[in-house]
A and B are shown apart, each in its own frame.
Chain A
Amino acid sequence: MVSPVRLQPAPDLFDVARIRADFPILSREVHGKPLVFLDSAASAQKPQVVIDAVRHCYEAEYANIHRGVHYLSETATHNYEATREKVRAFINARETKEIIFVRGATEAINLVAASWGGANLKPGDEILITALEHHSNIVPWQMIAEKTGALVRAVPTDETGDFLFERFEDMLTPRTKIVAITHASNAIGTVVPIKDVVATAHARGIPVLIDGCQGIVHRGVDVQDVDCDFYVFSAHKLYGPSGIGVLYGKADLLEAMPPYQGGGDMIETVSIARSTYAALPHKFEAGTPNIAGTVGFGAAIDYVAAIGHDAILAHEDDILGYALERLRGLNDIQLVGTAPERASIISFLIDGVHPHDSGTILDQAGIAVRVGHHCAQPLMDHFDIAGTVRASFAVYNTRADVDALIDGLQDVRKVFA
């Protein structure tokens, strides 16, 4: 086990230089320029403690889990299960059996749509999502809707890209069987008041799944306080390895759901005639999982928890506010998404320049931004654009990164002058 090295700092002692030193990749150059990484909303970089934890797992403590009686298998099992407890504590779930390890948020939503949806949806039932969703919170619902005869409906948004609470309430009908909604938009940063959403849906007896991919990073969550039925997120956006993620579900819902995939580790007994399934959480964890990734995920949670969401939010809000102020001072920049409550994600367009051209030119200056539709085509359609340039700010970004971006925009203008 690699234990966290960071002590709990007070928010006013937030030291971004020390944070940056934890992330080896931030000291490299790209195209001969210092890397300015503004694409953490797609996937965050990894601190040394996470890299070390994965490495240590393979170098010293690796074997398959839940199988062997030998030392390494028991150690690997212990480390793997230790991450489950860290996740439970991190999101304040009641029990570790409510934490299901999956490949990522995408698999978590597919699991709920196929398992819960397959068992509960009937022709004419409605699945309510929003126009803000990532494709991963749209397509799995469309697939199960097609199978069951249910319908996917989406709460529209406005010119600011905000979550429209009244429209949401209006669209809850007696046929609505589940609400699946993002905690924060990956494309434009809009933060959704998930606690109010859950309370409103629950008043009508409707369960709620929350896509927490961005929310867990920029806000954190207390699943008992929010009272959501499902909360899903990926480790790789939370400074952990890729290929590992979490489905949190309330135990009674998970107990009632049929398994998603069959295989080893998810069974109790198997005969050719029939099998019985393991108890939670293993019922939903067929096959050998991402063991080292899960161990690295545990280190990532320790790392984030030690800094604390209050400190992270205060820092990111500072960078976000500064970036918005600088971008608003440029008359050829059009912000896409201007909701008042937002995570540190900014989408924008440069007049007369396609996002892909902007992205290539910024890259030559060492600045990594995401360009395109951000897997949110319905939202792009709403704004009648093909895509945007997106700058997202993480715990390691600085005001200097924002300055570099603003300077980089000058390069874009020079090419297209």
Chain B
Amino acid sequence: MNDLRDLYQEIILDHGKSPRNFGKPESFTADANGYNPLCGDKVHVYVTLKDGRVEDVHFEGRGCAISMASASLMTEVLVGKTEAEARALFDKFHELVTTEHELVGDDDIDRLVVLGGVRQYPSRVKCATLAWHTFNNAITGAGEPAKTE
């Protein structure tokens, strides 16, 4: 049970149960579908870009606590980022959930560190990265749904 507390930290349970920025916004400039064929989870990410910066991110979908919490946290940390900064943060986040590397702390990564427990559960990494892949597809304008496979 103690190991499980590393994975299911309070913040994750909270965001999983009450995801922030959930639902389709009235307006947005880019969006994409994401799908995890392994579990059937679906997510739709809506992005508003203004002057090259992320002004707002919303999402809707269904999934496990990890995928919902990850999507929810993502919608918060991406606001204010340039596209390049957002991509760099995704790279760092990917490193966080797949490797043991000590990441040099900045405020954004510090907020996402709660998801680091996922690295002990290889089959669950994709739950954590689905929303990020989907965000990436939205801002690059890829017409295809994001997939974790």
Contact = CB atoms under 8 A, between A and B. Distances in A.
A377 B17 CA distance: 25
Nearest to A358: B64
A415 B40 contact: no
A356 interface: yes
Given A356-B124, A364-B3, A386 B13 contact: no
Given A356-B127, A386-B62, A364 B1 contact: yes
B64 A356 contact: yes
* Interface SS of A by simple majority: helix
A416 B13 contact: yes
Interface string A18-39: 0000000000000100000000
A125 to B, nearest CB: 30
Contact of B65 (A354, A377, A380, A386): A354
Interface residues of A, number: 21
A128 to B, nearest CB: 25
B39 A364 contact: no
Nearest to B41: A386
Nearest to B39: A372
Contacts of B145: none
A30 to B, nearest CB: 13
Given A357-B65, A416-B13, A372 B1 contact: no
Contact of A357 (B3, B38, B62, B64): B64
16 contacts: A353-B65, A354-B64, A356-B39, A356-B66, A357-B8, A360-B4, A360-B124, A361-B8, A372-B40, A373-B39, A386-B40, A386-B62, A387-B39, A415-B4, A415-B8, A416-B8
Interface of A: 31, 352-357, 360-361, 364, 371-373, 377, 380, 386-387, 411, 414-416
Interface of B: 1, 3-5, 7-8, 13, 17, 38-42, 62-66, 121, 124, 127
